[in-house]
Structure 1
Amino acid sequence: MAAGKQVMVIGADDSEESHYALEWTLDHFFKPFGGDTAPFKLIIVHAKPSVSSVVGFVGTGAGVLPIVDADLKKMAARVTEKAKEFCASKSVTDVVVEVMEGDARNVLCEAAERHQASILVVGSHGYGAIKRAFLGSVSDYCAHQAHCSVMIVKKPKTQH
């Protein structure tokens, strides 16, 4: 880590909301400083689901495990490459990208703690109360459990 720079951890997945959160963060925290002269060291974290958590939904056939694992690895590579390319397009090259296996809620909070982050940035899917109750909310969990400040970036709703 560069001397004097605080650490910012941002969660990344393949959703539009995640991409918007990354774009908003780069535009507001890095662009005004000219990319790499920003006061933050950026660490992008992708939480790759474990094979067992995904296979539990579709069955336990022995032939399924390697296929699911390969697909999860391809998705993680796609997400991280896209994030790196986007950062480079915004002239932010002082960035570390990590893939950690596990539930996104736990992975993001653990990454923020491990890197002694000053801020954790997460996107918001904008689920209503019922969906949040069944699916769980990564942003809500992080806001209550992370050991640093949490910024939840919401993508504006399109007007009809």
Structure 2
Amino acid sequence: MDGTGYLFSTDVMATMERYSNDVAQCVIDKAKRACKNLNDVKVEIVVEHGDPRDMICQVAERLNVDMLVLGSHGYGLIKRAFLGSVSNHCAQNVKCPVLIVKKPKSNGGNLKD
């Protein structure tokens, strides 16, 4: 590497931070709706920053979860080799059972609100 990097103004950084927070809030709201009617299931919302593979494993261990449920993008072998697989990494590294849920083909994987 030649040491070249990217410099962003404080305005750009603030915009990126707001966007990141908005996306996180959207995901939290959708998760709350999906879990609203679950009985006898403890749901805890945690937002962390970092590599998703590492953060999910660390939080699962810290919270001592009974089961980790993850979605899968359904990437093929080639994409998974280049992009990595969060769900596969977590399945190999957490101490609790892991359920990997594949995207349904019938509706394109969108959860109904």
- The TM-score, its normalising length taken from structure 1, stands at 0.57
Q: Look up the equivalent residue of 1:61 and give its one-letter code.
A: F
Alignment gaps of 5+ in structure 1: 1-55
Mapped pair 1:77 → 2:22: no
Corresponding residue for residue 7 of structure 2: 60
Moved over 3 A (4+): 91-94
- Any gaps of 5 or more consecutive residues in structure 2? 108-113
Tell me, yes or no, if structure 1 residue 132 matches structure 2 residue 80: yes
Q: Which whole-Å deviations, capped at 9, do the CAs of 1:70-107 have from their partners, x for residues lacking one?
A: 1001110111012112222x255842211111121111
Report deviation, 1:158: 3.4
Pairing of 1:115-126 with structure 2 (within 5 A) = 115-126=63-74
Q: Using a 3 Å threshold, how does the CA distance of structure 1 residues 143 and 114 change in structure 2: closer, same or farther?
A: same
Give the counterpart letter for 1:117 in structure 2.
Answer: V
Q: Which residue of 2 aligns with 1:103?
A: 51
Cα distance between partner residues in 2 of 1:149 and 1:87: 20
Structure 2 length-normalised TM? 0.78
Q: Deviations over 1:86-131 (max 9, x none)?
A: 222x255842211111121111111110011121110111100111
What RMSD over aligned residues (CA atoms) do the two structures have, in Å? 2.1
Task: Specify which structure has the higher proportion of strand.
Answer: 1
For 2:64 and 2:29, the matched residues in 1 are separated by 24
Letter of the 2:79 counterpart: K
Please give the secondary structure, in 1, of the residue aligned with 2:74: coil
Aligned equivalents of 1:152 and 1:121: distance in 2? 6
State the identity %: 45
